[in-house]
Amino acid sequence: MTDAKPGLFRRFFGGVGRAISWLRVVFINLAFVVFLVVFLTAIFKSAPVIDVQEGSALLIAPNGVIVEQKTVLDPLTTLMQNAAEEDSETRLWDIVDAINEATADNRISALILKLDGVVGLGLVKAEEIARSVQAFKATGRPVIAYGEYYNQSTYRLASEADEVYMHPMGVVFMSGFDVFRNYYKELLDTLLIDFHIFRVGEYKSALEPYMRNDMSLEAKQANQHWLTSLWTRYTNTVSEKRGLKEGRLQQLIDNVDRELAQTEGNAAAMAVRVGLVDEVLSRPEMEDMLQERFGESLDGGANLIHMDIYLQERRMAQLPSEAARIGVVIAQGEIVDGDSVPGAVGGDTLAYQIQRAESDDSVKALVLRVDSPGGSVFASEVIREQLLRFQASGKPLVVSMSSLAASGGYWISANADKVFAAEQTLTGSIGIFGAMPTIQRGLGHIGVSTDGVGTTQMAGAGRIDLPMNPVAAASIQQSIEFGYRRFLEIVAEGRGMTTDQVDGLARGRVWTGADALEKGLVDATGGLNDALAAAAELAELEAYDAKWIQPEMSFLESLAHVFNVRQADVFDSLLGRLGVQWAALQTPYLLIDPRQQFALCTECATP
């Protein structure tokens, strides 16, 4: 009996092991088959026969956040996430390319702006699109905007249209530009947490929420300056486009309750009355109007072609070009040390992209498109060093600033041969900070103490359960001050100033692109096309193509890119029904810097 039991157990667990192995093989094979079927379906679905009918209207209907460059997620993250529409992204330059192609295409009779799906745009990106819309309008063809809801940034774009329509239950929501932040000093005091701040510059307010319970006077003055500058330009532009009297838009927003009372609370009727909208139309009425004006499509709707389909058709029709190339590298998001993480700029990743541009003989110049509030000082310097090496190769470097090029974003921009900013760009914020919390008081309150011995005066430095080491504190502050002086030297060298001149513009203060031009922090105002033209001139090129130098992608990402489908589109139908919430498993990344020094503008949230 005693010998039988081990044999029985072995047979039982052996059977369980074989069953698990069999199930594992079956699951892997089934998963591969399902993936193959879904992926092939996505391929064929994403590559239809495209026929652009004569007289078609091009439909610009982006979804999600308008970005300079789509976020590259690792396959596992993409596989596990249950993507919602607000998480989706539309590449700014796809919109611009579609409109530019339509401008030269006589088959396209009109442009339709449908902006309800946009959840994030920003003024600088709206202006880039607006420039393309203006070029289309210059050909004499109409531009029509239709929305069920307009916010300030989408309405700025809609104001470019010859005709603006809105749903009867819609609204144009405007509240002006503002900066409001939460402040935690009282909470930290209540929790007995000491937050040790190291910074240079009275305008470097990134850490004010941990130091105070309100915004400092210096921060209020600086923020009010750039907010007023941007708002004045916005109201003047919209008023000019819509034929409103000077000051009417400000009056409307300040007295919206009274204005709304005149239409008995009907926001759409108020928008028509004050001249923001030309007419209200329901969805069926809008469809009928479009069919009447542009004809009927083969599937029975209005003769419209979506920009995604149109771009596929145009790109498939384009022949390879032998023109010289200007590389375009995008720095989008906060700057972190090492490789990029979703939504951030990895110093090593971006440096490698710049190195690829340097070693590519077909690339004769480089445009760095910056849309970043900064971040790690070390990573910013890694990127700047690689840019200097690119310039040392004899190729010109031009910077094009998008919504943000502040702090570390300016650090990597300052030494370019030429720097362009939009008038609405937020830039500057030249300053450095560091911070460290300690919780020894809170631990003591609940009966936890820390004690020990060490061999130097720095023993225990960096532990949050001990008071801040005074030697370490003095060393950190000195290091921060050195970093600030280095920042001043970099800017002075790049902009042809003295460090004293730069210091007068620095100390953490934020400037708009228009102000930065006046102060000498940038060379000109303009968009990406202006930067490309300047790069071509510096490289003495008469003809050129832009070459977008992307981060290296995995196999799945490459396939998705080739077939113009997001990986989430491939997997959503499979995993979406399982309700997998990958976000719950993710840990938000922290800003990474080996020395814990940051050039980051946290208040730089562009309207």
* Measured distance between the N- and C-terminal CA atoms of the chain, rounded to whole angstroms: 80
SS3 state of residue 65:
strand
Residue 11 tokens read as 């047979």
Enter the CATH code of domain 324-431+473-553+584-600. 3.90.226.10
The pLDDT assigned to 347 comes to: 94
How does pLDDT run across 385-416, given as a tens digit for each residue? Answer: 999 999 999 999 999 999 999 999 999 999 99
Least confident of 78-87, 215-224, 251-260: 78-87
Q: How confident is the model at residue 27 (pLDDT cuts 50, 70, 90)?
A: low
Catalytic residue among 204, 395, 519, 547: 204
Q: Are 423 and 519 in contact (CB under 8 A)?
A: no
How does pLDDT run across 343-364, given as a tens digit for each residue? Answer: 789 999 999 999 999 999 999 9
Dihedral (C-alpha) 373, 119, 42, 311: value to the nearest 10 degrees? -80
56-176+217-317 has CATH 3.90.226.10 classification: yes
Catalytic residue among 407, 413, 418, 429: 407
Tell me how far the alpha carbon of residue 144 is from its chain's centroid: 27
593: nearest Cα among 437, 433, 484? 433
The pLDDT assigned to 509 comes to: 92
Q: What is the pTM assigned to this prediction?
A: 0.82
The pLDDT assigned to 446 comes to: 93
Q: Are strands 163-166 and 279-280 parallel, antiparallel or unpaired?
A: parallel
Residue 570 to residue 36: CA distance in whole angstroms: 10
How does pLDDT run across 130-154, given as a tens digit for each residue? Answer: 999 999 999 999 999 999 999 999 9
Rg (CA), the chain: 28
Residue 569 clears pLDDT 80, i.e. is over it: no
Active site residue 407: yes
The pLDDT assigned to 30 comes to: 65
Among residues of the chain, what percentage have pLDDT more than 70?
A: 81
Least confident of 283-297, 308-322, 334-348: 308-322
**What value does the mean pLDDT of the chain take?**
85
Q: Are 600 and 426 in contact (CB under 8 A)?
A: no
Active site residue 204: yes
Residue 380 to residue 336: CA distance in whole angstroms: 8
Which residue spans within 80-137 are E strands per DSSP?
89-91, 108-114, 118-120
The boundaries of every CATH 3.90.226.10 domain in the chain are: 56-176+217-317, 324-431+473-553+584-600
Among residues of the chain, what percentage have pLDDT more than 90?
A: 66
Residue 74 clears pLDDT 60, i.e. is over it: no
Q: Are 428 and 506 in contact (CB under 8 A)?
A: yes
Residue 13 to residue 199: CA distance in whole angstroms: 63
